[in-house]
Amino acid sequence: MSPNKIVVKAAVAIGLALVANGAAQANDIKGKVSVQGIKSAENIAVYVDAIPEKKFDAPKAPVVIDQRKMAFLPHVVAVQQGTTVEFLNSDPVGHNVYWPSVSGNKKLAHNLGTWPKGEKKPFQFNDVGVASLLCNVHPEMSGYVVVTPTPYFAVTDKEGNFEIKNIPAGKYTLKTWSEDGKPTTQAVDVSGATATVELTVKK
């Protein structure tokens, strides 16, 4: 094949890829969370709320939350409903993992027990809401699993920035959850390639 033909073939392939991408209309939300009366804009979960008549398969890949140096790491984890979280103990001491409720519903309380260093214990989070992780051996330990109804979620970085990728074009409701602030709700239009969003979370 001549070099020219290769170039033409490559151009056609790229063109087809662009057409396919356009048809799929997978867009992004880029945003920044500002805080009022809260010390940090980090670790705030931002997610697209349930979309009417749309169901999502539970993700197959587990998410790991480490217990390391007497802390749950990461401190805040967002997962799609149905995700299995593997709780890993990386400390030489036994930890305990339990949550007294999911978003205040005590029927969803669960105690995973205690296990030694290097071992993991899985739990599938099937209920939307927030599980406040605690360890009954070390009262200073705390963490959060934010279970979202869609696969479109993020957790803010130190500056409050977040990015949610590959969202089908449409209008949605964006919600936030923060350890210290009130939850927020905001409409978001993801019709263009990238929706830019500014959110404020207040004490």
Min dist CB 40 to Cu ion, Å, is: 23
Which of 40, 45, 86, 50 has its CA nearest to residue 66? 86
Question: 84 vs 39, 44, 62, 64, CA distance in Å?
Answer: 31, 21, 5, 9
Min dist CB 45 to Cu ion, Å, is: 23
Rounded CA gap, 119 and 97, in Å? 13
Site string for Cu ion, 117-136 (x = CB under 5 A): ------------------x-
Residue 125's DSSP bridge partners are: 83
**For Cu ion, which is the closer residue by CB, 56 or 98?**
98
| Residues 41-60 contacting Cu ion, CB under 5 A | none
| Residues 77-106 contacting Cu ion, CB under 5 A | 95
Min dist CB 44 to Cu ion, Å, is: 25
**For Cu ion, which is the closer residue by CB, 19 or 137?**
137
Q: Which of 16, 137, 159, 165 binds Cu ion (CB under 5 A)?
A: 137
User: What's the burial of 64, exposed, middle or buried (CB within 10 Å: 0-12/13-18/19+)?
Assistant: middle
Binding-residue total with Cu ion (CB under 5 A)? 5
H or E stretch covering 171: strand 171-177
- Interface with Cu ion includes 75 (CB under 5 A)? no
Binding site for Cu ion (CB under 5 A): 95, 135, 137-138, 141
